[in-house]
Chains A and B, each alone.
Chain A
Amino acid sequence: MARDDDTLVQLLTPDGERVDRAVGPDGVEYSVDLTDAEYRGFYRDLVTVRRLDAEATALQRQGELGIWASLLGQEAAQVGSGRALRPQDMVFPTYREHGVLYCRGIDPIMPLSLFRGVDQGAWDPIETRCGMYTIVIGAQTLHATGYAMGIAMDGKVGGDDGEAAIAYFGDGATSQGDVNEAFIWSAVYTAPVVFFCQNNQYAISEPIERQTRVPLYQRAAGFGFPGVRVDGNDVLASYAVTRHALDHARSGQGPTLIEAYTYRMGAHTTSDDPSRYRPPAEAEAWRSRDPIARLAAFLGRQQIADETFFAEVDEQARTEAVRLRERVLTMPDPAPDSIFDNVYPHGSPLVDGERERFNAYRKSFEGSAH
């Protein structure tokens, strides 16, 4: 499959040179006009989510998490798109969107409790306007589409208080029927939804060539809505493209497919070994496109930030990571009979009866040597 770099929307080169404006495949011009404080804020986010992610990987290696899906390399795609969201927008993530959650203001302990196994990722999707992690690939794209249909039915498009939904998924998910059904549904109902695909080049071990013969963003045309490929390692471009797509949706013009072209620097999860399926030179080549290094180069060159700032950000990220570690280690296990909680909103004789027998059984051991 051709890389097709000509169509890549980029506002910051890998060397940290600012591109004034970029034109997408659909002729849309993308640009950003940020304050110095906002540039620094992006940098702080990138460093922090990478540091928290590294801490989680370490915790898994030490046996404190059952598994971890690292976002290493995808920070810019997640922070750029996450910061483009408005408070009223609704997010439908897959299981690697720790950076999006961070931008959404969700306590970083939340996804960790899922991977540690003390719950199933139970943050409040309504309160936080961010759905729970979805592990079945692509299922959430339909949820986002249905939610967006509801936005339109509520008349919350077209005005200043317009809302949009955004669905996150990977390149592997584009092979799923659900994703294609979500494309069809969103197009025919003009649903205010943005499909944000992080093409990190691999679905566990399977390269993008095993998912598609055309660049993914081009698929949108067949469904009747715009598709755009953005440099997913460029936080500014990811921000600009997502903000435009969200505005497009909330103004009533329907869906957009964004393909954030990026690379997963680590394993799919801590369970696999990328050295079995990826040539070492490939990751090396992508290292030169690192999203944090390029923003740092830009900030330094433009004198938006200095060494003191970089050191302070590192220190703050480290402090957050240490706090996160402490909280993970002291996270209590759930009560044994919580197994039976919340199967049904108003209970069920079957489950309630099982809980009673389970508790009676456990009680029968009280006072014994066990």
Chain B
Amino acid sequence: MATESLTLGKALNAGLRRALDRDPKVVIMGEDVGKLGGVFRITDGLQKDFGEDRVIDTPLAESGIIGTAVGLALRGYRPVCEIQFDGFVYPAYDQIVSQVAKMHYRSRGMVRLPIVIRIPFGGGIGAVEHHSESPEAYFAHTPGLKVVTCSNPSDGYTMIQQAIASDDPIVFLEPKRRYWEKGEVDAEAEAYPLHSARVARPGTDVTVVAYGPMVRTALDAATAAAEDGRELEVIDLRSLSPLDLGPVHESVRRTGRCVVVHEAPSNVGLGAEIAARVTEECFYSLESPVLRVTGFDTPYPAARVEEEYLPDLDRVLDAVDRTYGW
């Protein structure tokens, strides 16, 4: 496969396939990942081609998925766990933060747990409760874990392979409402470091920081703002822990204005961290405070009102306007 137009879902599937193909120690495990190919079909066809020992349908218990992955990793395997939906990860939370995150530290480096925990996350698909959440801050707050998210098919294809090849335990968040969006995927493209932010659209007036599903929203806002003569620079973080804020700082020093966008509630969210660090690093360059555009501090609402909850193009533009108010 050279360059090909794929949906994010298919790109992730291709990346997983390549990882299974390259390393016999890679195993995929989760609920319905085998015959069904996952509820979003991200593992479609993989069990058929790699067998039931490589693509393992598990009992319906998330702590069990992660806990047994720890044992498999100790045995030399590289488990890729699928958690079916964001809101289902909490039963596994103890295994992730108390065991997976800490074993390398506790063992003074003698144990490595190269586990990837894939979680389709975020809203916008009209789902019922527990199917639309953004739990990234819980994991980004935990030392020993790394947290990444892709926003487009090309990154999805590359990043999933990098995450699986990494010796770190990685929470890999997949923006589920972007699964069906297409983009060019170049299988031969040169890989970039997994934990590196990218400038998704260059601009001169306001730095808009986003990740995962909100990158598309931020880019749409930038297109709209350009019609009004404002050039937004959109930065796709890709990595949420560790944060790669170098490109953000560099951008804010030029633009003097910064808006952070995410779906998760604002209180103690990633936006607060980013705002604090940008303020510390770029204090004398800032024309206005760093603003956040986020979900509200409520549980994720019912589907019929989720569009009110989710940051959209207008709320991003409104925040951009407000940065000019100081």
Which residues from chain A sit less than 8 Å from chain B, CB to CB? Answer: 90, 92, 119-122, 124-127, 131-132, 134, 136, 139, 141-151, 153-154, 165, 177-178, 181-182, 184-185, 188, 341-346, 348-351
Contacts and interface: CB of A to CB of B under 8 A. Distances in A.
Which of the listed residues B61, B76, B168 has the most CB atoms from chain A within 10 Å of its own CB? B61
Which of the listed residues A127, A154, A182 has the most CB atoms from chain B within 10 Å of its own CB? A182
A161 B99 CA distance: 30
Contact of B106 (A132, A143, A147, A182): A132
Contacts of B241: 350
B313 interface: no
6 contacts: A125-B74, A125-B107, A145-B64, A148-B71, A181-B67, A184-B59
A348 B148 CA distance: 14
Interface string B58-71: 11010110111111
Contact of B110 (A125, A182, A344, A350): A125
A174 to B, nearest CB: 15
B63 to A, nearest CB: 6
Interface residues of B, number: 45
Nearest to B67: A142
B67 A122 contact: no
B77 interface: yes
B67 A182 contact: yes
B144 A149 contact: no
A164 to B, nearest CB: 13
Contacts of A165: 71
Going nearest first, the 7 A-B pairs with the smallest beta carbon separation are A146-B71, A142-B67, A150-B75, A146-B68, A147-B71, A181-B64, A342-B109
Contacts of B109: 341-342, 345
B168 A185 contact: no
B104 A345 contact: yes
B70 A142 contact: yes
Contacts of B59: 181, 184-185, 188
Contacts, number: 142
A148 B67 CA distance: 12
B167 interface: yes
B106 A146 contact: no
B243 A350 contact: yes
Nearest to B245: A349
Contacts of B53: 153
Given A122-B107, A124-B107, A149 B68 contact: yes
Interface stretch (B4-12, B90-98, B219-227, B252-260): B90-98
A81 to B, nearest CB: 19
A125 B108 CA distance: 11
B230 interface: no
Contacts of A177: 61, 63, 91
A178 B110 CA distance: 25
A349 B277 CA distance: 14
Contact of A143 (B99, B167, B242): B99
A144 B143 CA distance: 24
Contacts of B98: 136, 139
B105 A125 contact: no
B75 A142 contact: no
Interface of B: 27, 53, 58-59, 61, 63-64, 66-77, 79, 91, 94-95, 98-99, 103-112, 143-144, 146, 167-168, 195, 241-244
B70 A146 contact: yes
A178 B67 contact: yes
Given A126-B111, A182-B64, A182-B67, A147 B105 contact: no
B31 to A, nearest CB: 13
Contacts of B77: 150, 153
Given A143-B71, A181-B63, 8 more contacts: A119-B108, A125-B111, A134-B99, A143-B68, A145-B67, A146-B73, A345-B109, A345-B168
B242 A350 contact: yes
Nearest to B53: A153
Contact of A150 (B72, B104, B106): B72
A343 B144 contact: yes
A143 B61 contact: no
A343 B105 contact: yes
A121 B108 CA distance: 9
B105 A120 contact: yes
A123 to B, nearest CB: 8
A336 B105 CA distance: 15
Contact of B71 (A145, A188, A345): A145
A119 B107 CA distance: 9
A143 B100 CA distance: 10
Contacts of A121: 106
B69 to A, nearest CB: 6
Contacts of B167: 345-346
A132 to B, nearest CB: 6
Which of the listed residues A131, A142, A153, A154 has the most CB atoms from chain B within 10 Å of its own CB? A142
A217 B126 CA distance: 46
Contacts of A178: 63-64, 67, 94-95
